[in-house]
């Protein structure tokens, strides 16, 4: 949510910053802006709409730039996405420019106070208060931008990453963070700042992770980090294990298309190195002692959106394999209902970005209640894993498309691994039983590959439904969260009404929605293992078909029992029931993506959304 870039170095600052913004545009894309210093003068340009609008404006007025610059791509919170509300914002003397990600909660009282002192506001944003406060503090702090930033941050409430530059120092960018992401890229004679390493990965893979409530002073040859009181602060340095090409489209028209195709590799990478030669699982990023794992009496999974759907599926696997009661809750609701947590509760926080504010706040609440928190996350060094007791990283690589695809499949794999690991640590399963599931998991990349090889008819079907107003999704058991995920993908990408139901619930009300020709996608469980469920859903298909639904059935290849009731049949490989979501989700991703493309939508940057939701 909002992408931030800062640069100090010998390269043309404007180019570096705009290129960084291009790589961060998935974080927010309703307006964009930059500030550079041109011969000691603050020069800003900002435009509503996508980055292309800013680029066009920049091309109209070529500008010189000294070696520093900052840039921002916005997801609006305060004030509509207009040129004026776009970042950067400047103080009344046009000496300081500021960009911001997050929400300054006490901005209204600060704005009033500043206006009383004669300050003139030009935008409706909360960010502008930071620009004016910095302008005032600079004078008070002897033109020391870092000291001014520390003083301002001490006054702000809420979540923010702030990045500022000042006309009086052409070798300095200063940034601060609280509850919002910020990472430094260390180069040779140049340094970078961004919300995400993707912004500078083409220049350096050496990163520095900033902690909570820290201020960084970035110069060409130095990176100095302090807390808000000016004391030197510890930081963690790390090397990014993917390169710029991983964050390119690689010949695809959209990142989402590429990311769907990357799923077999992503699943394989998430399994890699986690199974010892003797078959035992070693999840050594879990900083939880075996005794702590044995003490767990209850598991609570918290997550949002697609990650929440991964959690719903994890519940089936964990309860089945470990016999530990497992609850799954939407993170934004969790801490407001007074949940019962204690030292024997393990909270699993699933978050692709590791930055979702709702999940982060739920993690903090859980830790305050003394629960042990394990994060499942795709972004190394992000806030949620840093604040958790343990972390299991998914190795999906960078996901740029706003809709989660490969990160979802890898979250499933990570959840299965946690379930098996707990079963192993608590001696709930024999080694050979665990090995058998691991082998099935190891086979999943091939199975996903197989699905990808057979989705051409799904694309055709999707295009034929581009004019539908509603699509319903049904599932049972693990197929229900898969149905929820299919509906979410369709909503966010195709802007269509899509709803999912547990197939058994249909007759309790939603069946009234069925009318002639209404497309209903049904995820059919495997016939093996859960035969009863299979037969029940076949009855459900007949019930909706009898009422006129156009049935689109996703079932195991060779499952002839569903054929007579399927207007469209999508075959998926036969895999064990609990693992079926890994294969059953893929056609639904393709379906939503293709249908959205047929409607002319941008599947990488759907309207109103942002990849990483860093506000509550
Ligand atoms: C949907 C999607 C979102 C995210 C949700 C949580 O395609 O991407 O629903 O799953 O915003 O994000 P993370 O996993 O980063 O916490």
Q: Residue 285: is its pLDDT beyond 80?
A: no
Give how far Cα 316 sits from Cα of 80, 274, 322, 324, 502, Å: 43, 22, 10, 11, 14
**What is the reported pLDDT for 276?**
74
- What spacing in Å lies between the alpha carbon of 232 and ligand 1's midpoint? 35
CB 274 within 8 A of CB 244: no
Give how far Cα 81 sits from Cα of 50, 103, 566, Å: 10, 15, 46
Poorest-pLDDT segment among 54-68, 127-141, 357-371, 564-578: 54-68
- Catalytic residue, from 2, 304, 415, 593: name it: 2
Residues 286 and 241 in one domain: no
Detail the DSSP E strand segments found in 291-382: 298-303, 326-330, 345-351, 372-377
Report yes or no on 590 lying in a domain: yes
Nearest atom, ligand 1, residue 353 CA: 15
Average pLDDT value for residue range 240-261: 86
Residues 432 and 457 in one domain: no
Separation of alpha carbons 457 and 38, rounded Å: 55
Q: Which pLDDT band holds residue 244 (cuts at 50, 70, 90)?
A: confident
Q: Residue 255: is its pLDDT beyond 90?
A: yes
Strand partners, 554: 523, 570
Report yes or no on 292 lying in a domain: yes
Cα-Cα end-to-end distance for the chain: 11
Report yes or no on 314 lying in a domain: yes
How confident is the model over 41-100, as pLDDT tens digits?
999 999 999 999 999 999 998 777 778 999 999 888 788 889 999 999 999 999 999 999
Separation of alpha carbons 254 and 557, rounded Å: 30
Mutate to test the pocket of ligand 1, among 311, 332, 356 (most ligand atoms within 8 A of CB): 356
- What spacing in Å lies between the alpha carbon of 606 and ligand 1's midpoint? 13
Residues near 345 by Cβ (< 8 Å), separated by ≥ 6? 296, 297, 298, 299, 300, 366, 369, 371, 372
Q: Residue 153: is its pLDDT beyond 90?
A: yes
**What is the reported pLDDT for 608?**
85
Q: Residue 27: is its pLDDT beyond 90?
A: no
Q: What is the mean pLDDT of the chain?
A: 93
Q: Tell me which of 248 and 420 has the higher pLDDT.
A: 420
Q: Tell me which of 585 and 527 has the higher pLDDT.
A: 585
For every residue of 496-557, DSSP letters joined together read -EEEEEEGGGGGGTGGGG--TT-EEEEEPPPSSS-HHHHHHHHHHHHHHHHTT-EEEEEEET
Take residue 193 and report the two structure tokens written for it. Answer: 């700042």
Spacing of C-alpha 345 from chain mean position: 25
Report yes or no on 482 lying in a domain: yes
Q: Which domain-ending residue is among 411, 442, 473? A: 442
- What spacing in Å lies between the alpha carbon of 403 and ligand 1's midpoint? 7
How confident is the model over 482-492, as pLDDT tens digits?
999 999 999 99
Residues 314 and 434 in one domain: yes
Mutate to test the pocket of ligand 1, among 305, 311, 604 (most ligand atoms within 8 A of CB): 305
Q: Which pLDDT band holds residue 283 (cuts at 50, 70, 90)?
A: confident
**What is the reported pLDDT for 526?**
87
**What is the reported pLDDT for 578?**
96
Q: Domain residues for 225? A: 3-247
Nearest atom, ligand 1, residue 352 CA: 14
Residues near 333 by Cβ (< 8 Å), separated by ≥ 6? none
Q: Which domain-ending residue is among 420, 442, 464? A: 442
Poorest-pLDDT segment among 50-64, 119-133, 267-281, 453-467: 267-281
CATH code: domain of residue 14: 3.60.20.10
Report yes or no on 613 lying in a domain: no
Report yes or no on 610 lying in a domain: no
Nearest atom, ligand 1, residue 405 CA: 7
Poorest-pLDDT segment among 84-88, 129-133, 236-240: 236-240
- What spacing in Å lies between the alpha carbon of 373 and ligand 1's midpoint? 19
| Number of domains composing the chain | 3
**What is the reported pLDDT for 430?**
84
**What is the reported pLDDT for 249?**
82
CATH code: domain of residue 427: 3.40.50.10490
Average pLDDT value for residue range 400-405: 94
Residue 480's nearest CA partner among 385, 568, 342, 581 is 581
Report yes or no on 604 lying in a domain: no
Nearest atom, ligand 1, residue 359 CA: 16
User: Is-catalytic flag, 599?
Assistant: no
Q: What lines the ligand 1 site, CB under 6 Å?
A: 304-307, 351-353, 356, 359, 403-404, 488, 492, 612-613
Q: Residue 532: is its pLDDT beyond 90?
A: no
Residues 243 and 261 in one domain: no
**What is the reported pLDDT for 66?**
77
Average pLDDT value for residue range 513-520: 95
Average pLDDT value for residue range 110-139: 96
Residues 218 and 269 in one domain: no
Residues 227 and 261 in one domain: no
**What is the reported pLDDT for 235?**
87
Residues 219 and 264 in one domain: no
Residues 176 and 63 in one domain: yes
User: Is-catalytic flag, 611?
Assistant: yes
Residue 481's nearest CA partner among 298, 316, 346, 263 is 316
User: pLDDT over 70 for what percent of the chain?
Assistant: 100
Poorest-pLDDT segment among 251-260, 425-434, 451-460: 425-434
How confident is the model over 564-616, as pLDDT tens digits?
999 999 999 999 999 999 999 999 999 999 999 999 999 998 998 887 787 77
- Among protein residues, the one whose CA lies closest to atom 16 of ligand 1: 351
Q: Residue 479: is its pLDDT beyond 90?
A: yes
Please give the model's pTM, rounded to 2 decimal places. Answer: 0.84
- What spacing in Å lies between the alpha carbon of 307 and ligand 1's midpoint? 6
Residues 379 and 477 in one domain: no
CB 182 within 8 A of CB 223: no
Residues 568 and 545 in one domain: yes
Q: Residue 189: is its pLDDT beyond 70?
A: yes
Q: Which domain-ending residue is among 205, 225, 247? A: 247
Residues 177 and 43 in one domain: yes
Q: Residue 284: is its pLDDT beyond 70?
A: no
Residues 432 and 461 in one domain: no
Separation of alpha carbons 66 and 43, rounded Å: 11
Report yes or no on 605 lying in a domain: no
CB 572 within 8 A of CB 557: yes
């Amino acid at each position: 949510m909002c992408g931030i870039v800062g640069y100090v170095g010998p390269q043309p600052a404007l180019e570096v910053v705009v290129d960084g913004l291009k790589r961060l545009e998935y974080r927010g894309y309703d307006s964009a802006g930059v500030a550079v210093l041109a011969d000691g003068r603050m020069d800003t340009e900002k435009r509503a709409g996508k980055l292309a609008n800013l680029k066009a404006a920049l091309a109209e007025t070529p500008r010189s730039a000294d070696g520093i610059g900052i840039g921002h791509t916005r997801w609006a919170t305060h004030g509509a996405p207009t040129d004026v509300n776009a970042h950067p914002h400047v103080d009344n003397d046009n000496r300081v420019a500021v960009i911001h990600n997050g929400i300054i909660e006490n901005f209204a009282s600060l704005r009033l106070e500043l206006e009383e002192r004669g300050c003139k506001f030009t935008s409706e944003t909360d960010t502008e208060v930071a620009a004016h406060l910095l302008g005032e503090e600079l004078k008070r702090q002897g033109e020391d931008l870092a000291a001014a930033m520390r003083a301002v941050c001490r006054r702000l409430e809420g979540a923010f990453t702030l990045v500022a530059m000042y006309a009086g120092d052409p070798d300095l960018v200063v940034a601060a963070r609280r509850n919002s992401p910020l990472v430094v890229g260390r180069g040779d004679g140049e340094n970078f700042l961004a919300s995400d390493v993707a912004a500078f990965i083409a220049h350096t893979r050496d990163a520095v992770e900033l902690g909570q409530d820290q201020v960084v002073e970035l110069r060409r040859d130095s990176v100095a980090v302090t807390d808000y009181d000016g004391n030197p602060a510890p930081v963690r340095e790390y090397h990014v294990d993917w390169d710029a090409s991983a964050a390119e489209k690689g010949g695809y028209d959209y990142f989402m298309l590429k990311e769907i195709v990357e799923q077999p590799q992503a699943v394989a990478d998430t399994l890699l190195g986690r199974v010892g030669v003797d078959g035992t699982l070693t999840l050594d990023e879990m900083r939880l002692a075996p005794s702590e794992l044995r003490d767990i009496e209850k598991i609570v999974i918290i997550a949002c959106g697609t990650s929440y759907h991964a959690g719903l599926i994890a519940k089936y696997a964990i309860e089945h394999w470990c016999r530990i009661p497992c609850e799954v809750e939407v993170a934004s609701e969790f801490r407001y209902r007074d949940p019962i947590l204690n030292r024997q509760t393990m909270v699993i926080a699933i978050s692709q970005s590791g930055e979702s504010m709702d999940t982060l706040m739920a993690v903090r609440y859980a830790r305050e209640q003394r629960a042990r928190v394990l994060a499942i996350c795709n972004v190394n060094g992000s806030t949620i894993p840093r604040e958790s007791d343990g972390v299991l990283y998914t190795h999906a690589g960078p996901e740029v498309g706003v809709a989660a695809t490969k990160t979802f499949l890898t979250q499933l794999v990570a959840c299965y691994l946690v379930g098996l690991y707990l079963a192993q640590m608590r001696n709930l399963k024999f080694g050979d039983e665990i090995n058998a599931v691991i082998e099935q998991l190891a086979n999943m990349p091939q199975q996903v590959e197989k699905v990808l090889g057979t989705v051409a008819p799904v694309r055709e079907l999707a295009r034929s439904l581009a004019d539908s107003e509603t699509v319903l999704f049904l599932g049972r058991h693990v197929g229900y969260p898969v149905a929820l995920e299919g509906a979410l993908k369709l909503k966010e990408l195709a802007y269509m009404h899509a709803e999912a139901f547990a197939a058994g619930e249909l007759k309790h009300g939603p069946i009234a929605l069925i009318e002639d020709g209404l497309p209903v996608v049904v995820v059919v469980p495997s016939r093996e293992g859960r035969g009863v469920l299979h037969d029940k859903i076949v009855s459900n298909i007949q019930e909706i078909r009898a009422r006129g639904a156009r049935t689109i059935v996703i079932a195991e290849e060779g499952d002839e029992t569903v054929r007579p009731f399927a207007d469209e049949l999508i075959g998926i490989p036969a895999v064990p029931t609990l693992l079926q979501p890994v294969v059953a989700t893929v056609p639904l991703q393709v379906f939503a993506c293709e249908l959205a493309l047929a409607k002319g939508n941008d599947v990488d940057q759907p309207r109103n959304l942002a990849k990483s939701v860093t506000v509550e």
